[in-house]
Structure 1
Amino acid sequence: MRQLLPQHRAILSLFALLFGGLFVGMLMSVRPQVALSSSSSSRNSSASLSVDRIGTLREHQQELNAELSRLRDEQAELQQQSTSSQSNFEEIRTQIDQQQQMAALVAMRGPGVVVTLNDSNANSLPDEVADVNRYIIHQQQLVTLVGVLWSNGAEAISINDQRITDQTSIYCVGSTILINQELMAPPFTIRAIGDPNTLANAASNSPLLSDLWNRQREFGIGVDVKQKAQVQVPAYTGPLANRHLEVAP
């Protein structure tokens, strides 16, 4: 075999070094590009994921806003219904109270008059008395007085704590009087709510009560009329008689 000269070996060594350096340089230039490409790809992927996530969150937020708006509308409707129901309840309650007042089923108070009727205060009757009944309060005086008070604006009337209504009956039973099925004896205290001046004037000057006042002057019947700033009459507690009323099917 032919042997290489020393100068030839030196040239070959130089070529080897140059080639190795060039190869290493090429590698160094390629690797950063690969790394840069990989890093760019990763950032693009992350950015894409972030955009998708933001889009999903926005859609969810829109759904929540829509649900919140629906719930607010529902709440407003419920509040309106509640207000309407409360208003209807108050109206019904007012109507019931008015009906109870008209039916005398509740106690009432207000300005008015108190009229007291009593049998004669005479200690003894004259021998020539033809009619002893002239010295006694009868149902007729009570019925007439109540009618006069009603016709002059009385809003509520009671006799001896018995409320007078359109169903009240007043009857004489011997020496007593039956009112709302309760036996009563004199004195009779009639309480009436209304304008005190009007009621007092009617009780004192009505022509319908002239017989009562004549008996007061001639036979000592007790008649006393007083105006009051506050009069109280009780609720009606007697029976409620419905002769023709029945529940419809």
Structure 2
Amino acid sequence: MDRGKKQKIAVMFICIVAGSILSIQYKTNKSISAANIPVHRSREVALEYQKLKEEREQLLREINSLEQKVRIYESEKSGEDEFLEALYSEIEKYKMLSGYESLSGEGVTVKIEEPPQAEGGAGVVKYYDTLIEIVNVLNAAEAEAISINEQRYTSFTEIVPAGNHIEINGVSQGPPFEIKALGNSKDLENSLRLKGGVVWLLEQQYNMQIQIEKEDRVIVPRYTKNIEYRYSDVVKQ
């Protein structure tokens, strides 16, 4: 089998597996968000959720493996032609920009612990506001990639309060929260620790426990949801 056919087969498998993951993600969220689950079914639902979670993680591992094979095929082929090599380099760059590549490098890790249960403590809405504000500060400090509890933050990411938890990329999340950001670690830390800034106010007014650590190597995972443009098209010049 020639290399071109291998690439097509690998891409086809990735599409099939990605579709399966989206289906599992939908069923998982539907199970979690179902209201008024009878007590006698709570254990059954918990087991079903765990099974779906394990299946999703296995499919994600398969996608990563297949994508790695496709990347090897593309790299080998591009090495034979300067034009293809330049094209491959551009594709990799746009994958990074869109969030479809896991990235690593210098950066910071921000850990938000659940505060002591006291008057003025933070609730779900305050966590929602906190995440939005911290992400905005990191973006203003030119963070190159951001994740929240291993969910990649992109222009398509939704962060919304839902009942007693927060939905990030369609996945239910709750405290503690861990935000990772790639960029100049000193600039990122200084922007967060600014007196009168978001972290200072959260610690002083809401008694929230926030830890900021500079690291030489932070890993930000890739965005795993499938994006489709159904209502938009490229403007032709």
TM-score normalised by the chain length of structure 1: 0.58
Please say if 1:89 is aligned against 2:84.
yes
* Identity level (%): 26
CA contact under 8 A between 1:196 and 1:228: conserved in structure 2? yes
Tell me which residue corresponds to 1:239.
Answer: 226
The correspondence of residues 1-249 of structure 1 with structure 2, limited to 5 A, is 86-120=81-115, 122=116, 124-125=117-118, 129=119, 133=122, 137-205=126-194, 207-209=196-198, 212-246=199-233
Change (3 A) 1:144 1:215: closer
1:70-102 CA distances to partner (integer Å, 9 max, x unpaired)? xxxxxxxxxxxx999700010110010011011
TM-score normalised by the chain length of structure 2: 0.60
Unaligned runs of 5+ in 2: 1-76
1:147-203 CA distances to partner (integer Å, 9 max, x unpaired)? 110111100000000000001010111221110000001111000000000000011
Q: Which whole-Å CA distance do the structure 1 matches of 2:78 and 2:177 have between them?
A: 50
Tell me which residue corresponds to 2:16.
Answer: none
Amino acid at match of 1:155: E
> Which deviates further from its counterpart, 156-165 or 171-180?
171-180
SS of equivalent residue, structure 1 residue 177: strand
Q: Which whole-Å CA distance do the structure 1 matches of 2:98 and 2:129 have between them?
A: 24
Change (3 A) 1:84 1:141: closer
Change (3 A) 1:246 1:215: closer
Q: Which whole-Å CA distance do the structure 2 matches of 1:97 and 1:111 have between them?
A: 20
CA contact under 8 A between 1:167 and 1:241: conserved in structure 2? no
Greater radius of gyration (CA): 1
CA contact under 8 A between 2:108 and 2:213: conserved in structure 1? yes
Q: Which whole-Å CA distance do the structure 1 matches of 2:79 and 2:219 have between them?
A: 36
| Structure 1 residue 119: Cα displacement | 2.1
Q: Which whole-Å CA distance do the structure 2 matches of 1:191 and 1:174 have between them?
A: 25
| Structure 1 residue 137: Cα displacement | 4.5
Amino acid at match of 1:223: I
SS of equivalent residue, structure 2 residue 81: helix
Change (3 A) 1:135 1:89: closer
Amino acid at match of 2:135: V
Q: Which whole-Å CA distance do the structure 2 matches of 1:227 and 1:179 have between them?
A: 24
SS of equivalent residue, structure 2 residue 136: helix
> How many equivalent residue pairs?
159
Report runs of 4+ in structure 1 exceeding 6 Å deviation: 82-85
CA contact under 8 A between 2:194 and 2:200: conserved in structure 1? no
Unaligned runs of 5+ in 1: 1-81
SS of equivalent residue, structure 1 residue 116: strand
Amino acid at match of 1:175: N
Q: Which whole-Å CA distance do the structure 2 matches of 1:196 and 1:177 have between them?
A: 27
Q: Which whole-Å CA distance do the structure 2 matches of 1:107 and 1:83 have between them?
A: 22
| Structure 1 residue 105: Cα displacement | 0.1
